[in-house]
């Protein structure tokens, strides 16, 4: 079977969210599937070698076009429906299945099997959390048309599946839930580390420890801080977290100067959040770090006393699971997919209730038994989500659709 994967998102400079999802899923698929052939489709003026070469091998290759993205998306794909992305080719034979790991501008020829992953439909559930430009972009995407064209839809949580059924009227039988993996833990790098000699591992651990301390010192961070990691935007309820932190600090003795560390790239209306930060009497102890890469994430998780995630809506929610992997106790909102993904391994709160967030900060710092329970359960929960599991379930879907097509022919 020839599978063409929409790899355009992998041309991003920094991986996060959907691009990180795509990279991890693709790596796992290529690792377990040696029978099928994968073509990675990209559209970019830039050479794909730096971003995509690592995904090529005996059963995978790059297939691309080089058009300006706005021209390609709005004129060629949206209006002219050209070129058909399953026909763009430098290889022999037809594409049996086209897979896109997210909503995108896509035109396919009739008859090609199409699998679409939906992470969330927050733009339909909470349009007020998006700029007018983003809302127009979602309309131009033609989400309903993509949903209708898909032969199978993968939802990353039962919550996303329920939203698809309620908000878009999707047939439940057309949607399969496949949980994402944890972005730490079950990758090839981890396997390689386990096979190294002890002296090499000790040297690497020592260097990592030195780099970690240097990073903390450079950014004026004190170990034991509260940590939030994700985009800096209203949907994530960071203003609520800052206000809850202010209240919590007000109740503490002067010797309690635990910092609040906020890491992530600036999103829509981030200035409103910065305004709340500047008005905080504890502004000096609230640190904005901007975008951080995977290695720095690891540093932060290891040094945090707790991970706080009061988001109003998530389709899945990677950061809490990542924190759990490193043994960091988690306080999380009890809405959307988060209770489903985290279960009883996190301290769940109502994100609209500041008193609950304040109380959770108090519990997570003072109650040793609850901390120990959350650390233990969190590690167990994080280990349940692997990219190997996700890839095998995807492969089942791909195979079933292909078998069905061959029987039909």
Does the structure show a pLDDT above 60 at 76? Answer: yes
The per-residue pLDDT for 13 is: 80
Contact between 318 and 183 (Cβ < 8 Å): yes
Output the average pLDDT for the chain. Answer: 91
* Mean pLDDT in residue range 45-69: 89
- Under the banding of pLDDT at 50, 70 and 90, the label for residue 391 is very high
Does the structure show a pLDDT above 50 at 193? Answer: no
DSSP state of 386: -
Q: In what order do the strands lie in the sheet with 347-349?
A: 286-290, 260-263, 225-229, 304-309, 330-333, 347-349
The per-residue pLDDT for 199 is: 45
The per-residue pLDDT for 208 is: 61
Give the helix ranges, DSSP H, for 109-235.
Answer: 122-125, 132-141, 143-149, 158-168, 188-195, 198-218
Does the structure show a pLDDT above 60 at 209? Answer: yes
Architecture of domain 2-181+387-408: 3-Layer(aba) Sandwich (3.40)
* Mean pLDDT in residue range 153-163: 98
Fold match, 2-181+387-408 / 219-383: yes
92 alpha-carbon distance from chain centroid? 34
Does the structure show a pLDDT above 70 at 166? Answer: yes
Q: In terms of Cα–Cα distance, which of 197, 195, 200, 270 is closest to 230? A: 270
In the chain, where the domains are located:
2-181+387-408, 219-383
The per-residue pLDDT for 255 is: 84
* pLDDT cut 90: percent of the chain above it: 76
Q: Give tens-digit pLDDT for 88-107.
A: 876 667 899 999 999 999 99
* Mean pLDDT in residue range 308-335: 97
Domain 219-383 class, CATH top level: alpha beta
Tell me the chain's radius of gyration from C-alpha atoms: 22
Tell me the DSSP string of 28-84. Answer: HHHHH--SSEEEEEEE-SS-SHHHHGGG-BTTEEEEEE---HHIIIIIIIIIS--S-
The per-residue pLDDT for 134 is: 86
* Mean pLDDT in residue range 18-36: 96
pTM comes to 0.91
């Amino acid at each position: 079977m020839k599978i063409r994967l929409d790899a355009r998102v992998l041309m991003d400079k920094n991986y996060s969210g959907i691009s990180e999802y795509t990279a991890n899923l693709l790596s796992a698929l290529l690792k377990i599937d040696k029978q099928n052939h994968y073509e990675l489709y990209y559209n970019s003026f830039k050479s794909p070698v730096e971003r995509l070469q690592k995904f090529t091998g005996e059963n995978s290759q790059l297939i691309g076009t080089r058009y300006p993205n706005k021209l390609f998306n709005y004129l060629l794909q949206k209006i002219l429906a050209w070129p058909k992305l399953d026909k763009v080719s430098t290889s022999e034979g037809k594409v049996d299945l086209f897979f896109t790991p997210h909503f995108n501008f896509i035109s396919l020829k009739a008859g090609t099997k199409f699998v679409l992953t939906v992470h969330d439909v927050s733009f339909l559930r909470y349009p007020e959390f998006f700029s007018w430009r983003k809302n127009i972009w979602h309309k131009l995407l033609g989400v309903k048309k993509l949903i209708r064209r898909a032969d199978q839809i993968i939802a990353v949580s039962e919550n996303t599946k329920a939203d698809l059924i309620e908000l878009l009227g999707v047939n439940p039988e057309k949607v399969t839930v496949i949980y994402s993996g944890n972005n730490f833990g079950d990758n090839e790098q981890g396997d390689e580390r386990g096979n190294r000699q002890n002296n090499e591992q000790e040297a690497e651990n020592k260097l990592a420890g030195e780099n970690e301390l240097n990073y903390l010192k450079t950014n004026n961070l004190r170990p034991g801080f509260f940590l939030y990691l994700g985009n800096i935007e209203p949907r994530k309820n960071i203003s609520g977290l800052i206000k809850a932190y202010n209240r919590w600090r007000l109740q503490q003795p002067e010797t309690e100067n635990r910092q609040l560390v906020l890491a992530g790239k600036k999103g829509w209306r981030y200035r409103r959040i910065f305004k709340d930060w500047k008005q905080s009497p504890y502004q000096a102890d609230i640190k904005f770090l901007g975008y951080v890469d995977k290695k720095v994430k690891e540093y932060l998780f290891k040094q945090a006393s707790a991970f706080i995630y009061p988001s109003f809506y998530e389709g899945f929610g990677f950061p809490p699971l990542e924190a759990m992997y490193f043994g960091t106790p988690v306080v999380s909102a009890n809405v959307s997919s988060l209770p489903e993904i985290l279960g009883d391994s996190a301290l769940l709160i109502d994100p609209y209730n500041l008193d609950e967030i304040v109380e959770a900060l108090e519990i997570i710092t003072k109650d040793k038994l609850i901390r120990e329970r959350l650390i233990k359960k969190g590690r167990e929960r994080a280990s349940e989500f692997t990219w190997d599991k996700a890839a095998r379930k995807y492969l089942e879907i791909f195979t079933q659709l292909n078998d069905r097509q061959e029987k039909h022919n």
